[in-house]
Structure 1
Amino acid sequence: MLQPTTKWELKTESESAQVLATQLEVSRLTAHLLINRGCDTKEKAEAFLHMNEDRMHDPFLMKGMKEAVDRIHQAIIDQEKIVVFGDYDVDGVSSTALMLETLSKLGAKYDWYIPNRFTEGYGPNRNAFNKLYDEGATLLITVDTGIAAVDTVAYANELGLDVIITDHHEVGPELPNAFAVINPKQKDCVYPFSDLAGVGVVMKVAHALLGEVPKDGLDLVSLGTISDLVPLIDENRYFAKRGLRVLSRLDRPGLQALCELSGLSDPPFTAENVGFGFGPRLNAAGRMSSADPACQILLTTDQEEAYHLAERIEQLNVERQRTVEEITTEAVAMSEKLTEQDAIVVANENWNSGVTGIVASRLVEKYQRPSIVIALDSEGVGKGSARSIEGFDLYESLSTVRELFTHFGGHPMAAGLTIDHTNIDLLRAHLNEAVKQTMTDEDFIKTSPVELELKMSDVTTSLIKEIEQLAPFGVKNPKPSVLIRNAAIAQKKAIGSDQTHVKMLLESDGVTLDCIGFRKSYMNDAVSDDSLISVIGELENNEWRGNVKPQLIIRDAEVRETQVFDMRGKPIQTIERFDHETSYIVFQDAMKQTLTNLGIAEHQIIDGESERVSKSVTTFVLIDLPKDLASLENVFRHFGKQMDTLYVLLQDETKAYFTSLPTREQFKWLFAYIKQEGTLDIHRTIEQIVRHKGWSVDTVRFMLVVFEELQFITKRGGRVELNDTPSKKALTDAPIYERHRKKVEVETTLLMSTTEQLKTFFHPFLVEQPIESEEIRSGLQSTH
């Protein structure tokens, strides 16, 4: 049995799917997917499928836009020095680049500034404003930052600097007293779409300044919008979809160099290429050092400079990957030691503050708990990143203890903060209590929405192309997840340089499907080759050497039957790979000592007489052979129904010394022979019988011992003679006969059987799962 790691929720098909399909002239499948995305009318669906510039909103509907545009135009006319103040993530650097290119088109006098994460922290700061003022700046435009900079903007006003804030983060209880604040999340802002990324807000400013959408900047907008994980609906869908087309042209020398040097796939690009290719690399600069190279590579027109910048960014990305792995390992170890784990809050002085967000996401993935990772400097000041789970508004919860932070800002699912080390325990206690009060045990189980249940024969390249009509995929427009139930495993193996991934070939009704699970190599060991497996994941067309085949990216898997792994013949040391929650079934005393010598704890060892074991134990290893099948059956009557996984080793050092029991006819012949000959010499008689009958020496000696135990014969001085009045007894009355009969039965059943026969033997003792869970019974109807 393999339990899924998430809760699968199958979405039922709406009765209106066929109606919508007819109206749009699309398949019922596409209509079903559109309805799942809130597009339940023809108008909404057409807007989603055909989002274009005509459907975009008037930028001047955004509060503060007119005041900002007028002030920027005036600064251009007066040739004031305008400085664009950005942020160090992808959204921040793409916002900076887009604003700079817009100012350049307008003939402005401009410069740019992105604070250093390690020396300045997040957002506008006084030292930076002093420097920019001294260098002649009179107007600052923040991009993707500034909405929480109340004190810093007040200081700018004292200096005589005008500040225009463009941001998209959550708005706090007090707004900065800036010349203009442009943020669609402002409470009295009537702009119809509030989920723009920072670069999306800048695009609206550029639109307002230029009088048209600067289409050559859409590649920048797609980079920031996709990387910042904002919902890919409404205008964001246009920015992402149209922007990916522009990005795929690689008009920017910097992006072309980065693509070539890092080995990213060739265009056309998808949202996945941005999210897992361009995005992490551009982020690496600001995470590991200064973000300036990331901004410069977007702006440069020089091929040689572009290549040098790409080399530097790729180097920083490799360093970032190594750092993330090291800190994640330490953070997990610290998390395991926390007394309360409703939420995870960990801190360390040796951590790099640039990767705390990635590590926090790793902790959320592992523990399914809101997590905060804090990097402390030598003075005890911590810079932290927080990540949440569905159903828990992290921003709202942390907002109630703002007094603990020097700086704070973010979203319901993510936040950044600066905190003194003396307040970390208070933060941990608050977050644990907040989670405990608002979340249930059910909330901690990650949900995997499943939109389609498909037969293997349904999965075709044309179906996948149809699904791709909904791309680009992202937040609120996820790539449709599909369920394929009870498929046979034709092939299975761990792959990758470190064997962390799994590749399978699944088969059903004569149709096969390639599947790959990234960072899911546990499935290779946890699933037996002859199991029927159900998988959920996303479909894609995989092209290799001109051939296009469907492929499933596995997100989760389930095997409903108990897994029985035939490991007969493997050395006892094989068990070292099992974890501390495994129980070991042992019948022979010598094997108990062997297990102890291998470091197995005493409470994990179950002898043949045990009747109780922790209900939390679901993995068992059958170490050795029992004295008889009844002993084994007794154990399985007690524990069989809680077994998810059974490994069968069946070690034995006392195998029966014959392959089968002598037959009744053999015993009858020997008895007659002894009766005919009278007194016999044991050694000579055995030699004669072996020569005459072809029996083994061991067989003849065994039969003589049986006769002796039954008191049919008497042995004296190396001779055998028949008793005068032997009593009538069955062969089974002889203890040695019965012991060996049971031993042979055990060996024949457990050692000499095929794997399939072995599993058939165990099957009646193992729990039988219902064919369908409640979620699946209420699941998706056919979409075809």
Structure 2
Amino acid sequence: MIWKKKQAESLDKDLIAKYKLSPIQAKLFAIRGINTDQQLDFWLNDDESKLADPFLMHDMKKTVNRINQAIDKGEKITVYGDYDADGITATSIMVETLSILGADVDFFIPNRFDDGYGPSLERYQELVNNGTKLIITVDNGVTGIEEVNYAKKCGVDTIVTDHHIFQDEIPDAYAIVHCNYPNQDYPFDDYCGAGVAYTICRALMTDNMSELLDLAMIGTIGDMVKVSGEGHIIVKRGLEILNNTQRPGLRALIKNAGLELGSIDASDVGFAICPRINAVGRLADANLAVNLLLCDDEEEAEKLASIVEKLNDKRKQLTQEIFEICEKQIQQYGWQSKKTLVLYDHNFHEGVLGLVTNKIAEKYHKPTIILTEADNGELKGSGRSVVGFNLFNALIKLKGTVLTKFGGHEFACGLSLKKDSLVKLRNCFESSFQPVATSELVKMYDDELNLNDLTLDTYRQMVKVGPFGTDNPEPVFSITNPHISKLIKIGQNKNHIKMCVSNFSNELDLIGFDRSYLDTNILPYVHMIMVTLGINKWNNKAKLQGIISDFIFAAPPSLTSVRIVDLRNENYIMGFADRYLLFDKNSIEIANNIDNISSDKIILAADYMQNNESVVFLDTPTSKEQFDRVLNNDFNKIYLRFLIDPYPISKLPDRELFESIFNYIVNHPNLSLSDYKLVATYLGINYDCIKFVLRVFWELNWIDYDVKNELIKAITSPKVTKITDSKYFQAISQRLTFTDMLKNMSSDSLLKYIKDHNSNL
């Protein structure tokens, strides 16, 4: 990962004076290309009255006329929503407006577990049978070809309002209102479902409908659409409305979240309000959330909000429990060395799989799929990717063969498959992965943070360049050569850190989530810290704090004269060395998948021809002779890591394990190597360990391997030999012994050994 500082021409001094911009505001506006009088005036002063004419959106006039016709005739209207924060707020916006107009309106939110995502023919049939004459979809509908056709044949009109990508076929709806409809005149193309619903309501009411902006804003932040252009107005004004909201449901929700009206920002909405609304659809019936938002009775609102809070607590608990189970699976089966992860347990709760998948992918830096078992016996779940790997392209080719259902985009997906296709999915997913060179991955930061001038007022000035989100990212600042103190591990599992950076006159507390790898041994190597700024509110006091985005490491000046550095006890790769040497070619794929190492810095030790570089011994040499040969090179500095073991196993199996596997082969003849992947899970044994044992058995002529059919069976009367007679067993045993010696040798002894073999060091 490479961080580069954003560059931009300074803002015109007259504009700075006209809009009374502070230095940090002027800098951030310039970086974001908001550098003209018109752009600054829009950003700082425009409100909902400046939104485009809603009738510029495709089919808006038809939509308004049909809704008014339904109201005049007393026809029943059903709003068909979705179970996430966007779908719930879009439904609430539409129902509230139609109720004001006197419509006979009802709403339907699909159940995640019974109905799945999007239109359902069975539910459309129910709506038609219960007397609905007009269906209005919000935050869904563009995929409802069959459903819309059914309604039309029954004399029921459907108005599709959506923002998702059009498929090859477009529904034959009465009207389609879509923020990104091809060739329409509406100037903004990235509304969420709630934003489209709000636009329709502006048209229906011929009014700005400011009172709906709090809901439209929640949907916008929850669905991570643009907060630039008209999205900026929606979020900026929506936050103002929310901080003065009189909605009993939102007030109760805000109170339970520990937020205070008057000081809620976009981050609070994204990390406190949206997750609570989403928790309802993840674990229960999302109708509850709509009822909460539409509730006008304070006592009822408090009851509903209390239920939502309990669901959110359960959501967090389930997420952590499944996350821990997934981590145990990864450790138990040795999947840390895999390029991809496919994790499964029939007890996993479907509603939180997307959250867990995201956490696992972020922690292990691997494309990840997590599956559970559905009521119909199929496996279903979620996938998340990493930068540089297109998840959609890797899996779409499996639809109809390995996968029964699949949908998604580059970084996220949902999928289903038959249970007996799990091994094939793992194999196909693993073989599809092509690592991207991390040297190509570049992130941008805004500026160096000046601790001398850093105050709460600095943050308040910065906030006026927001609200921040998609297409207007939160500012990231660097702190170079920080003086760090007070490092502590926090959180229930001690997986987060809290630290303080300071200079002679000021200090700033920093929080780092999932940064438990940082310890006092690594602190001297911290060259830069990338942070975003926020407010920590505690006991009615507000204090500025930084949220750690990343660390950049470098060799500290104190180690300039030190030529050999022993970091064998650290698991984290800091990524600043000139070269990473591998003793075994089988370690290359694993090294390429380490997040902080550029692939162009990885080389086999046998091929290394450079001089005077800082190098890392990343894996373990397979023999003393190999190690000694490499030590003859002219190195400037050596970092000893030995993190990757280039062997199929980390320790030799005991006698009982050999007996257990052999008995299994006897009792289960003619299984393939692929079958033994399932056997590994069943027996609770690492698959690589099983392969090692099978290879030993094959060498000792205890098993027969049918190469043509790839089948394994035990030989009836094998020759009586010892496991230790296997040449393969002996070779691995010797390598493991040498590895253990290198890993456990005292630092002084190892450094002396290296110096004895390289006079330059």
Fold-level similarity (TM above 0.5): yes
Structure 2 residue aligned with 1:387 = 384
Distance 1:106 1:403, change over 3 A: farther
Structure 1 residue aligned with 2:437 = 441
Structure 2 residue aligned with 1:376 = 373
Distance 1:524 1:172, change over 3 A: same
Distance 1:180 1:41, change over 3 A: same
C-alpha separation in 1, matches of 2:19 and 2:423: 56
Distance 1:636 1:35, change over 3 A: farther
1:275 Cα deviation from its structure 2 partner: 0.9
C-alpha separation in 2, matches of 1:637 and 1:536: 36
1:80-125 CA-partner distances (Å, limit 9, x unpaired) = 0000011001111111111000101111001111111111111121
Contact 2:279–2:311 (CA under 8 A) maintained in structure 1:
yes
Distance 1:397 1:230, change over 3 A: farther
Judge which range, 317-326 or 283-292, deviates more. 317-326
C-alpha separation in 2, matches of 1:289 and 1:578: 43
Structure 2 residue aligned with 1:365 = 362
C-alpha separation in 2, matches of 1:443 and 1:183: 39
1:245 to 232, 235, 240: 240
Map of 1:354-433 to 2, 5 A cutoff? Answer: 354-390=351-387, 394=391, 403=400, 409-410=407-408, 412-421=410-419
Specify the SS of the correspondent of 2:147: helix
1:539 matched to 2:533 = yes
Map of 1:568-583 to 2, 5 A cutoff? Answer: none
Contact 1:51–1:234 (CA under 8 A) maintained in structure 2:
no
C-alpha separation in 1, matches of 2:14 and 2:218: 37
With a CA cutoff of 8 Å and minimum separation of 6, indicate the structure with the bigger relative contact order: 1
Judge which range, 95-104 or 369-378, deviates more. 369-378
1:81 matched to 2:92 = no
1:156 matched to 2:142 = no
1:304-336 CA-partner distances (Å, limit 9, x unpaired) = 221221121111111111211222234455567
Contact 1:280–1:317 (CA under 8 A) maintained in structure 2:
yes
Distance 1:458 1:261, change over 3 A: closer
Contact 2:525–2:556 (CA under 8 A) maintained in structure 1:
no
Contact 1:148–1:409 (CA under 8 A) maintained in structure 2:
no
Specify the SS of the correspondent of 1:185: coil
Distance 1:420 1:181, change over 3 A: farther
1:50-103 CA-partner distances (Å, limit 9, x unpaired) = 331233111111112222211111111111000001100111111111100010
1:196 to 183, 191, 214: 191
C-alpha separation in 1, matches of 2:279 and 2:481: 42
Distance 1:350 1:24, change over 3 A: same
C-alpha separation in 2, matches of 1:56 and 1:274: 23
Structure 2 residue aligned with 1:629 = none
C-alpha separation in 2, matches of 1:291 and 1:450: 39
1:236-279 CA-partner distances (Å, limit 9, x unpaired) = 11111111111122411122222223433453211111111111
Specify the SS of the correspondent of 2:464: helix
Contact 1:24–1:42 (CA under 8 A) maintained in structure 2:
no
Contact 1:98–1:220 (CA under 8 A) maintained in structure 2:
yes
C-alpha separation in 2, matches of 1:402 and 1:189: 33
Distance 1:507 1:186, change over 3 A: same
Judge which range, 271-280 or 451-460, deviates more. 451-460
Contact 1:409–1:416 (CA under 8 A) maintained in structure 2:
yes
State the identity as a percent. 34
Distance 1:483 1:147, change over 3 A: same
Structure 2 residue aligned with 1:481 = 476
Distance 1:434 1:476, change over 3 A: farther
Structure 2 residue aligned with 1:590 = none
1:415 Cα deviation from its structure 2 partner: 3.9
1:561 matched to 2:555 = yes
Judge which range, 163-172 or 408-417, deviates more. 408-417
Map of 1:320-339 to 2, 5 A cutoff? Answer: 320-332=315-327
TM-score under structure 2 normalisation?
0.70
Map of 1:497-512 to 2, 5 A cutoff? Answer: 497-512=492-507
Distance 1:256 1:161, change over 3 A: same
Structure 2 residue aligned with 1:114 = 109
Distance 1:455 1:216, change over 3 A: closer
Specify the SS of the correspondent of 2:482: strand
Contact 1:368–1:444 (CA under 8 A) maintained in structure 2:
no
Specify the SS of the correspondent of 2:499: strand
Specify the SS of the correspondent of 1:170: coil
Specify the SS of the correspondent of 1:470: coil
1:150-169 CA-partner distances (Å, limit 9, x unpaired) = 12222222333211111111
> Structure 1: which amino acid aligns with 2:437?
D
C-alpha separation in 1, matches of 2:428 and 2:571: 34
Contact 1:248–1:269 (CA under 8 A) maintained in structure 2:
yes
Specify the SS of the correspondent of 1:513: strand
Structure 1 residue aligned with 2:637 = 641
1:137 Cα deviation from its structure 2 partner: 0.5
> Structure 2: which amino acid aligns with 1:39?
I
1:290 matched to 2:279 = no
Structure 1 residue aligned with 2:253 = 258
Structure 2 residue aligned with 1:734 = none
1:504 Cα deviation from its structure 2 partner: 1.8
> Structure 1: which amino acid aligns with 2:529?
V
C-alpha separation in 1, matches of 2:157 and 2:219: 26
1:9 to 4, 7, 22: 4
C-alpha separation in 2, matches of 1:412 and 1:68: 33
Structure 2 residue aligned with 1:31 = 26
1:480 Cα deviation from its structure 2 partner: 0.6
Contact 1:14–1:32 (CA under 8 A) maintained in structure 2:
no
1:720-752 CA-partner distances (Å, limit 9, x unpaired) = xxxxxxxxxxxxxxxxxxxxxxxxxxxxxx9xx
Contact 1:94–1:223 (CA under 8 A) maintained in structure 2:
yes
Distance 1:179 1:42, change over 3 A: same
1:43 to 33, 38, 41: 38
Distance 1:296 1:134, change over 3 A: same
1:552-609 CA-partner distances (Å, limit 9, x unpaired) = 22222234236999xxxxxxxxx99866999xxxxxxxxxxxxxxxxxxxxxxxxxxx
State the Cα RMSD in Å. 4.0
1:142-186 CA-partner distances (Å, limit 9, x unpaired) = 111111121222222233321111111111111111111112223
1:341-385 CA-partner distances (Å, limit 9, x unpaired) = 555454443322211221222133124444443433143434433
1:455 matched to 2:439 = no
Contact 2:568–2:641 (CA under 8 A) maintained in structure 1:
no
Distance 1:386 1:499, change over 3 A: closer
C-alpha separation in 1, matches of 2:298 and 2:110: 26
Distance 1:23 1:407, change over 3 A: farther
TM-score under structure 1 normalisation?
0.68
1:283 Cα deviation from its structure 2 partner: 0.7
> Structure 2: which amino acid aligns with 1:503?
K
Structure 1 residue aligned with 2:349 = 352
Specify the SS of the correspondent of 1:523: coil
C-alpha separation in 2, matches of 1:393 and 1:576: 34
Count of residues paired in the alignment: 595
> Structure 2: which amino acid aligns with 1:641?
K
1:388 Cα deviation from its structure 2 partner: 4.0
Contact 1:142–1:166 (CA under 8 A) maintained in structure 2:
yes
1:520 matched to 2:515 = yes
Contact 1:170–1:410 (CA under 8 A) maintained in structure 2:
no
Structure 1 residue aligned with 2:59 = 64
1:427 Cα deviation from its structure 2 partner: 6.3
C-alpha separation in 2, matches of 1:230 and 1:256: 25
1:463 Cα deviation from its structure 2 partner: 2.2
Structure 1 residue aligned with 2:228 = 233
Contact 2:10–2:27 (CA under 8 A) maintained in structure 1:
no
Distance 1:60 1:416, change over 3 A: farther
> Structure 1: which amino acid aligns with 2:41?
E
Specify the SS of the correspondent of 2:268: helix
Structure 1 residue aligned with 2:693 = none
Distance 1:644 1:214, change over 3 A: farther
Structure 1 residue aligned with 2:752 = none
Structure 1 residue aligned with 2:274 = 279
C-alpha separation in 2, matches of 1:443 and 1:230: 29
1:500 Cα deviation from its structure 2 partner: 3.0
Bigger Rg, which one: 1
1:394 Cα deviation from its structure 2 partner: 5.0
Specify the SS of the correspondent of 1:255: helix
